[in-house]
Amino acid sequence: MTDPAQQPTPALVWRKERRVPRRQAPGVDRIVRQALAIADAEGLSALSMRRVAADLRSGTASLYRYVASRDELLDLMVDEVHGETEPPALTGDWRADLDAVARDVRARLLRHPWLGSELTGRPALGANSLRRYDLALTAAAALTPDITFASHAVDTVMAHVFGSTAQELAELQAQRRSGLTEEQWRAGVGPYIREVIDSGDYPQFARRVTDAEDTGPDEQFAFGLACVLDGLAARARSTGAARDAGSAQ
């Protein structure tokens, strides 16, 4: 069995000094921008070093002088996205600040549909990514001095953001795949839904269709986020993790 201490350390793109591009060579910044354009328009399945090189009218080998691999390119892309806008300013109100952080992340996920899959695995370690994560932890620390609780709080909020946004993006993907808007799809399945309701076999589903308010993704996201924040406040109070009685509101 190989000694874990002898395992090779993964090369970190963040420790590398960026090479100055040669004359007419693309350089890291142009490579990352072109990769983002491809991923945003066509998804990560279309992204390869060869494709980026072709779009930049460059040789694939020349790209490897600046970016060692597709994985390294993805790391750079994630950090570039995290730096494209300023993070929300914190107010010291943990609830308002975590709400703002969550909405900020959601906005980036909707602008870059490929991003969610890259953020739900190993943590992003670029400067922009770490800055935003540290800010989220700072927001949660206004609720509790317990860094473990604060970390779990941020992870729980992000789980809601990723899950609800994935559902929203899946609907958009279904529309592109079928060529039908949500309204057109509903019109098409309407007769079948009426049969299901009339059967009486699914009474709560029938109530949902006929009586529930038809809210959009923004309202649904806000409802879920409020529930998560309510739960964090209640958990902080019940476990004694709250910074003070007034903070867990």
Q: What CATH number should be reported for the domain holding residue 42?
A: 1.10.10.60
Residues 181 and 100 in one domain: yes
Q: CB–CB of 128/79 below 8 Å?
A: yes
Quick one: pLDDT at residue 1? 47
Residue range 220-225: mean pLDDT, rounded: 98
Average pLDDT, the chain: 89
Are residues 153 and 78 both part of a single domain? no
Same domain, residue pair 180 and 203: yes
At 120 the pLDDT is 82
The answer to whether residue 12 is domain-embedded is yes
pLDDT value at residue 233: 96
Q: Angle 217-239/94-111 helices, nearest 10 degrees?
A: 140
pLDDT digit string, tens, across residues 187-209: 999 999 999 999 999 999 999 99
Q: What's phi and psi for 12, nearest 5 deg?
A: -100, 120
Where in the sequence is the domain holding 222, given as residue range(s)? 94-239
For residues 67 and 105, membership in a common domain is answered with: no
Residue at 87 is within a domain: no
pLDDT tens per residue, range 32-49: 999 999 999 999 999 999
How big is the chain, counted in residues? 249
pTM confidence score:
0.85
In this predicted model, what pLDDT tens digit does every residue of 127-146 receive, in sequence order?
A: 999 999 999 999 999 999 99
